[in-house]
Chain A
Amino acid sequence: MSAATDDHGHGDAPHFSRKGYLIGLGFSVVLTAIPFWLVMTGTLGSAAATGYTIMAFAVVQVIVHAIFFLHLDPKAESGWQFMALMFTIVVVVITLIGSLWVMYHMNINMMPGTADSASGM
């Protein structure tokens, strides 16, 4: 995704098309409306099922945005843009899962009044 006048051959500015944006909009509207509808009506019954379903919708919508709006191209900038994205995703996943995992167990073990924490004091 380099400047439009770049003549180095490593990726031109993405070609913007009205069709691409409208397809992206169509997908996004559906992928946004369904999670809101699921949560507001409680159609699926269980909160866990609804939760996992809307998270799946979020992941798909992020990919739709990356393709149709951010025009992500694995070959842009000789692949460095994609490389930076992959690295970021790895760090984000480690951060999120690591934080939630460690802190969840710390919370459980620090709960006042439980036998374990009382005997450990």
Chain B
Amino acid sequence: MANAPTMTDAQGNPIFLDMHEHDHEAGGSTMLGFWIYLMSDCLIFAMLFAAYGLFGTSYAGGPRASEIFELPLVAVNTSMLLLSSITYGFAMIAMQNGKKAGVLGWLAITGLFGAAFVGIELTEFSKLIAEGATPQRSAFLSSFFTLVSTHGLHVSFGILWLITLMVQVGRFGLTAANRRRLLCLSLFWHFLDVIWIGVFTFVYLLGVLR
């Protein structure tokens, strides 16, 4: 390496350049990465909302939105999801205070609200299908079932993830990795609540109006 250029300052002293990346803590960029995943998920929902917006009145002689949607049931469902958002927040407060039992308790309550949400949604779907309002009936119902069940699947997987984290926290406590995972699930859970605002407004309420 005799020909390697040497860098010296005016006095002839060698200059040392810091060529190494700073050591990043494991998982230091996880939250940003997870956020970008959520944004791409947001795009999926945007496509499904666009499809519903286009086909929302293509009844094909089948049932209309105002005939099949039961707003009281949707209101109960909405409150389940909203309450689960709050209880997840309380789990985060317990995590901040380092209270493992509190985290586990609030997560369990969150999971129950989430399960109630999915249960009510499945009841609604089975009622609709029993009435003949199946996904195959019309473009309106196809786009309705696709959008709402995609959201419901997200919540279901969120519950699965929540149970997994409860086991993790129960076994290993509130370690740095577990805190990071809980923060990711927190974003996921609140994100699904935000999507639900779009669903109950654009699908159910506007559907009943038109």
Contact = CB atoms under 8 A, between A and B. Distances in A.
Interface of A: 1-8, 13, 15-18, 20-22, 24-25, 28-29, 32, 35-36, 39-40, 47, 50-51, 54-55, 57-58, 61-62, 65-66, 69-70, 77, 80-81, 84-85, 87-88, 91-92, 95-96, 99-100, 103-104, 107
B197 A65 contact: yes
B115 interface: no
Given A88-B43, A96-B46, A6 B28 contact: yes
Given A16-B89, A77-B31, A99-B53, A32 B78 contact: yes
A3 B201 contact: no
Given A96-B50, A99-B53, 6 more contacts: A1-B183, A3-B179, A58-B197, A69-B190, A70-B194, A85-B35
A7 B209 CA distance: 52
B96 to A, nearest CB: 5
A18 B82 contact: no
Contacts of B54: 99-100, 103-104, 107
Contacts of A7: 25
Given A32-B82, A96-B50, A5 B25 contact: yes
A91 B27 contact: no
B209 A58 contact: no
B42 interface: yes
B53 A100 contact: yes
18 contacts: A1-B35, A1-B183, A1-B187, A3-B28, A3-B30, A8-B24, A24-B89, A25-B86, A32-B78, A32-B197, A32-B200, A35-B201, A35-B205, A62-B194, A70-B194, A92-B46, A99-B53, A99-B54
A81 B25 contact: no
Among B28, B49, B205, max chain A CB count under 10 A is at: B205
A65 B196 CA distance: 11
Contacts of A51: 206, 209-210
Interface of B: 24-25, 27-32, 35-36, 39, 42-43, 46-47, 49-50, 53-54, 71, 74-75, 78-79, 82, 85-86, 89-90, 92-93, 95-96, 176, 179-180, 183, 187, 190-191, 193-194, 197-198, 200-202, 205-206, 208-210
Nearest to A21: B89
B209 A47 contact: yes
